[in-house]
Amino acid sequence: MSNPSNTNLQDVIDRHFNEPTRTVRLATGETLLNQGDPNRRLYRVRSGLMRGHIAEDDGTLTDVLRAGPGNLVGVQSFFGNGVNSQTLTALEETELGYIERDMPIKPGEPSLERLLMPIVLGELIRRQRKALELAESERETREQLDQLQRVSALGQLAAGVAHELNNAITVLVRGTSWIAQTVQLVVDQNERVLHRAFDAGLEHGRRASAAEVRQHTTILEKKLGVSYSDARKLARTGLSEPHLASFNDLKKNVDHVVRLWELGATIHDMRLSADQAEHVVQSMRNLGSSRVRDDQPVDINETINTALKLLRGQLEHVELSADLQDLPTIRASQGKLVQVWTNLIKNGIEAMTAGGTPTRRPKISITSRATRDSVMVVIDDTGPGIPDDVLPRIFEPSFSTKTHGLNFGLGLGLSIVQRVAAECGGNITAKNTPTGARFIVQLPREVLDV
CATH code where residue 91 lies: 2.60.120.10
Judge whether 212 lies within some domain. Answer: yes
Name the residue range of residue 210's domain: 151-291
Question: Do 224 and 333 fall into the same domain?
Answer: no
CATH code of the domain covering residue 384: 3.30.565.10
Bridge partners, residue 323, by sequence: 367
Question: Do 81 and 16 fall into the same domain?
Answer: yes
pLDDT in tens, 369-388: 998 888 999 999 998 888 88
Structural domain count of the chain: 3
Judge whether 114 lies within some domain. Answer: no
CA dihedral (331, 335, 336, 337) positive or negative: positive
Judge whether 117 lies within some domain. Answer: no
The contacts of residue 314 (CB under 8 Å, 6+ apart) are: 346, 349
Q: Which of 242, 270, 291 finishes a domain?
A: 291
Judge whether 115 lies within some domain. Answer: no
Helix/strand/coil for 166: helix
Q: Which of 291, 323, 339 finishes a domain?
A: 291
Q: Which of 104, 139, 160 finishes a domain?
A: 104
pLDDT at site 156: 60
Rounded Cα distance, 404 and 388, in Å: 11
Q: What type of residue is 146? A: D
Question: Do 60 and 158 fall into the same domain?
Answer: no
Question: Do 299 and 365 fall into the same domain?
Answer: yes
Contact status, residue 190 vs residue 182, Cβ threshold 8 Å? no
Question: Do 216 and 326 fall into the same domain?
Answer: no
Judge whether 90 lies within some domain. Answer: yes
Rounded Cα distance, 132 and 152, in Å: 30
Question: Do 316 and 338 fall into the same domain?
Answer: yes
Question: Do 444 and 431 fall into the same domain?
Answer: yes
Question: Do 297 and 286 fall into the same domain?
Answer: no
Judge whether 369 lies within some domain. Answer: yes
pLDDT in tens, 199-231: 778 887 777 777 788 888 888 888 888 889 888
pLDDT at site 152: 59
Question: Do 215 and 199 fall into the same domain?
Answer: yes
Judge whether 80 lies within some domain. Answer: yes
Question: Do 78 and 182 fall into the same domain?
Answer: no
Rounded Cα distance, 439 and 241, in Å: 41
Question: Do 423 and 436 fall into the same domain?
Answer: yes
State the distance between the two ends of the chain, measured CA to CA, in whole angstroms. 72
Judge whether 232 lies within some domain. Answer: yes
Question: Do 303 and 254 fall into the same domain?
Answer: no
CB neighbour burial string for 301-336, b if at least 16 within 10 angstroms, e if fewer:
bebbbbbbbbbeeebeebebeeeeeebebbbbbbbb
Can you list the residues of the chain whose pLDDT is less than 70? 1-12, 105-106, 108-115, 118-119, 122, 144-168, 171, 184, 186-194, 248, 276, 278-295, 355-359, 397-413, 446-450
Q: What angle do CA 161, 166, 168 make, to 5 degrees?
A: 105
